[in-house]
Structure 1
Amino acid sequence: MTTVDGPSSPGGTHPYALWDAAYVLGSLSCAERREFEVHLKACPSCADAVTDLGGMRALLSQIDRGYVDTLDEPDGYAGLPPLRDELLATVNTRRRRSRAATWTLAAAAALAIGLFVASQSNPMVVTPAPQPSQASALTMTPKKPVPLTATVTLTRRAWGTRIEMQCTYEAGPMDVDYDGDEASDKLAMVAVGRDGSRTELATWTARIGMPASLGGSTSMPVDEIASVQIISADAGAVLLERDL
């Protein structure tokens, strides 16, 4: 094997161009090795060359010692070209495998980055779970001269309808006589179906100046509810109503 004389060796684009093989095979002196390692940090081409030759030491160790001894004989060089070709073919195969693995990893990384960027920039990539269809709050209409105000909100669900109500008792006790019966501050929220059915959703006691937040559910779909009412729990009189 031809050794390297040092940084002034000819044949390359810079003084270190032929140091790669000597470095891999351990032929450099300690000072030259340190010098070349400093150079490798700033020279990608030399670093790649060292990487490509990384398996050469292991390949050379597989050569039979008896074969090496014949190289000094006059006809010993006859077997050298086949060995050289075999080594070069092995090295080239390893290079191709290494490059293929590198390209595979790079492609996988690029795909992962592309998917991440796409998910950030394209809202259609990640589809949020569908939210229940909820209408805005609807103001209820008084049916009797009572000091009540209320709004009602209906939310469509897969199993039926969720109904929320906000109600405020604004004045003194309800002293109005409903249909000949005594007035009462006990109230109820009722859902009236288009088929005439009635479902009581909640009951409560009205308190002066105190808002009440009620909620109830029914298996009736929104489309089958004709109206929502607030009634006097005792007399059954309709105090407020929202037609749908």
Structure 2
Amino acid sequence: MTTAPDHLDVAAYVLGILDADEVEAFENHLTECRRCALDLRDFAVVPDLIDEADAGGMLRGTAPERPDGKSVRVMLDAVAARRKRRRWFVAQGVAAAAAGIVAVTAVVTTLVVGGGDSNQAAPENTTPTSQTPVANNRNEASMKVQQQDPGSGVFTKIAAEDTPSGTAMDIEVNGMTGPGRGSLVAVGRTGRVAQVTSWFAPEPVAGDSKTIKLQANVAMRWHEIATFRIVDENGKTLLEVVAS
């Protein structure tokens, strides 16, 4: 009996590894899953790239035995697990200024910083856009900004901290209508643009306004960032926030 398809079947489907029953099940799943439809669009170029690489003069030899669907699913599960572990290590490494790699999907709480033995929290400013530098126990600057766009209804709160590798951020996003992908982009004072993180906004549920909570790191100093932008999957700006 064929099991229900999962999101990791997208790559296997594009590569033609699924059997006939699995293909039929996945295509039925695809009509109801916006996330898989978006992923399928991203994966669609892979077969052409493989064909181009083969036509470009790669050495030909005996073709390896084609793996079955179960083996591919095991490999894809392993890749997903490695990515999850990598995101966890990056998130943990933010406090120690590990590396400037984007970290997605981590729990965020209001940033609390103190100096010495003080347990006081950084003051919260309720104005539409706010920034409050605070000295923490590593003598680094900590900043907060928050703003809502009256047109799109998208709201964000960013608590940022300078690190040796750039800027670490705790991010909250609310009011983005799904399903679809969203991204947070940092625009530097010199015009440099860097994607900080991205997420998938689920289908909205009546009466339920979910807040998306993320933790990320960008290889730009806070004072080098002019604005933050939240954009949808088509590149449309839903919210722009002045950083400093």
Q: Could you say which TM-score interval applies, normalised by the shorter chain?
A: 0.3 to 0.5
TM-score, length basis structure 1: 0.38
Greater share of helix residues, 1 or 2?
1
Q: Which has the larger radius of gyration?
A: 1
